[in-house]
């Protein structure tokens, strides 16, 4: 007796990311953070097995690094293997973190594909693939659109290029299928981004219309790249990342998508994932106003800071970011803060000092120039004749912002 088609859609696993953008040398804490992401994938796998799904779609960015650690690669391989044993077809479409940076560098995930395990597909080039589900017996034709970097095309015609690729693939679709599904890794216009999107999405990314990668006969578009789960248009869905990657995603809830056949159509629901809490102090959402905790007038800055923290509800296992303003002659007793956060069972905390005068010029003491000037000279020398002025302007602006931010956090 046949039953309806069932699919799980997830993306942006970023396995191996650890404590992103947080300097840390504690291996035990780093390992716990890496396990957060692996355990999220296990939860989604368990759901797919329980529901006896036909397909498990990963719409890009499996690993955070193209060459993950042996531990992370092994854990991912075991999770995938357990689904293949349950006759779940696993389809992975490459994201920007999966694609090689040069012809001589191959992502490790391709090695799993090259071994040739039955029903595991890693797609790193645009293609069409029709696959029959084991349990439902339904055939799904997948139009696979891995991440294609804008620098591979003329930036002004990037969207047209993607649309042409989709149109050509659509023309290759055979008539013998039950559902047509697109799997891609792109930034679409109108997608809502997390505050920390600039730290994940390439600065020279070009948004495209969702109609460039879909058509009226497509039943579902499974997207990755944007970390905020959402429906950008009817049946065009970002599943979002599986765990909060940085503090820009602090307030985001995380999901995966469960797709079910219903009345000859595909219906979908967002399934919520429980994530490790991230907490910035101060923050309006916890009732502490201001961009930073101003301790410049405190005779005992550590005591004043602890007075603020005592009023805050800190969830167990959280990663906490303290933003304070201190004078150059003030210090914080790290041991007392360690004791406080240990009593709250916090995974990790760190303090970022917001300087009193953040607009001061950042001068290299050896060369005697502003670091922004040095950066601009280098970028123009290396890339001015290789990329368009629009892209150059974006790189210079973003680079200057990162320089200023990094100096503020020293």
Shared-domain flag, residues 140 and 238: yes
Shared-domain flag, residues 44 and 129: yes
Q: What is the pLDDT, as a whole number, of residue 381?
A: 79
Answer with the one of 327, 353, 379 that is the final residue of a domain: 353
More reliable by pLDDT, 28 or 359: 28
Q: For the chain, give the mean pLDDT.
A: 89
Phi, psi of 256 (to 5 degrees): -130, 170
Q: What is the sign, positive or negative, of the torsion defined by CA atoms of 224, 229, 233, 237?
A: positive
Shared-domain flag, residues 291 and 241: no
- With a cut of 50, say whether residue 359 has pLDDT above it: no
Residues 115-154 pLDDT 10s: 878 899 999 999 999 999 999 999 999 999 999 988 888 8
Q: How far apart are CA 144 and CA 59, in angstroms?
A: 9
Shared-domain flag, residues 180 and 236: yes
The verdict on residue 358 lying in a domain is no
The verdict on residue 361 lying in a domain is no
Q: How far apart are CA 73 and CA 318, in angstroms?
A: 26
Average pLDDT over residues 341-363: 76
Shared-domain flag, residues 331 and 236: no
Shared-domain flag, residues 162 and 267: yes
Q: What is the pLDDT, as a whole number, of residue 365?
A: 42
Shared-domain flag, residues 346 and 375: no
Taking alpha carbons only, the member of 90, 136, 88, 132 closest to residue 264 is 136
Shared-domain flag, residues 232 and 327: no
CA 125 distance to own-chain centroid = 21
Number of domains composing the chain = 3
The verdict on residue 152 lying in a domain is yes
More reliable by pLDDT, 259 or 100: 259
Shared-domain flag, residues 293 and 188: no
Q: What is the share, in percent, of the chain residues with pLDDT greater than 70?
A: 90
The verdict on residue 153 lying in a domain is yes
The verdict on residue 365 lying in a domain is no
Shared-domain flag, residues 10 and 157: yes
**Which range has the worst mean pLDDT, 97-106, 143-152, 170-179, 364-373?**
364-373
**Which range has the worst mean pLDDT, 20-29, 139-148, 228-237, 375-384?**
20-29
Residues 77-94 pLDDT 10s: 999 999 999 999 999 999
Helix (H, G, I), strand (E, B) or coil at 384: coil
Q: What is the share, in percent, of the chain residues with pLDDT greater than 90?
A: 67
Q: Which domain does 379 fall in, by range?
A: 371-408
Average pLDDT over residues 312-340: 94
Band (pLDDT 50/70/90 cuts) for residue 332 is: very high
Shared-domain flag, residues 217 and 103: yes
Taking alpha carbons only, the member of 72, 68, 117 closest to residue 97 is 68
- With a cut of 50, say whether residue 277 has pLDDT above it: yes
Q: List the CATH number of the domain containing 195.
A: 3.60.21.10
Taking alpha carbons only, the member of 208, 101, 97 closest to residue 152 is 101
Answer with the one of 273, 294, 329 that is the final residue of a domain: 273
More reliable by pLDDT, 55 or 118: 55
More reliable by pLDDT, 270 or 150: 270
Answer with the one of 353, 384, 399 that is the final residue of a domain: 353
């Amino acid at each position: 007796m046949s039953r309806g088609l069932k699919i799980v859609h997830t993306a942006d696993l970023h396995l191996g990311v650890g404590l992103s953008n947080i300097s840390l040398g504690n291996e035990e804490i780093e390992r716990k953070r890496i396990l957060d992401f692996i355990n999220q994938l296990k939860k989604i796998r368990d759901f797919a097995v329980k529901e006896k799904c036909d397909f498990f779609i990963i719409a890009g960015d499996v690993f955070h690094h193209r060459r993950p650690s042996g531990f992370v690669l092994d854990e991912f391989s075991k999770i995938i293997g357990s689904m293949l044993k349950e006759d779940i077809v696993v389809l992975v479409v490459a994201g920007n973190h999966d694609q090689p940076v040069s012809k001589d560098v191959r992502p490790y995930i391709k090695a799993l594909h090259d071994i040739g395990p039955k029903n595991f597909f890693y797609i790193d080039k645009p293609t069409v693939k029709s696959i029959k589900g084991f349990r439902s017996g339904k055939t799904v034709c997948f139009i696979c659109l891995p991440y294609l970097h804008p620098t591979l095309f003329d930036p002004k015609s990037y969207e047209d290029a993607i649309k042409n690729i989709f149109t050509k693939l659509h023309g290759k679709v055979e008539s013998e299928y039950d559902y047509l599904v697109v799997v891609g890794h792109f930034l679409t216009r109108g997608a809502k981004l997390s505050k920390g999107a600039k730290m994940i999405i390439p600065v020279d990314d070009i948004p495209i219309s969702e109609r460039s990668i879909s058509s009226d006969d497509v039943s579902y578009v499974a997207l990755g790249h944007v970390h905020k789960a959402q429906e950008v248009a009817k049946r065009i869905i970002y599943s979002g990342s599986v765990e909060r990657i940085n503090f820009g995603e602090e307030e985001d809830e995380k999901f995966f998508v469960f797709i079910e056949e219903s009345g000859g159509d595909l219906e979908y629901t967002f399934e919520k994932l429980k994530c490790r809490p991230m907490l910035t102090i101060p923050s309006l959402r916890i009732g502490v106003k201001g961009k930073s905790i101003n301790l410049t007038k405190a005779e005992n800055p550590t005591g004043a800071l602890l007075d603020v923290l005592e009023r805050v509800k800190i969830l167990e296992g959280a990663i906490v970011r303290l933003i304070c303003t201190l004078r150059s002659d003030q210090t914080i007793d790290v041991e007392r803060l360690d004791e406080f956060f240990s009593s709250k069972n916090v995974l990790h905390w760190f303090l970022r000092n917001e300087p009193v005068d953040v607009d001061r010029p950042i001068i290299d003491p050896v060369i005697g120039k502003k670091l922004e000037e040095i950066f601009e000279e280098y970028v123009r020398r290396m890339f001015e004749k290789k990329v368009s002025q629009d892209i150059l302007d974006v790189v210079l602006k973003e680079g200057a912002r990162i320089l200023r931010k990094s100096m503020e956090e020293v």
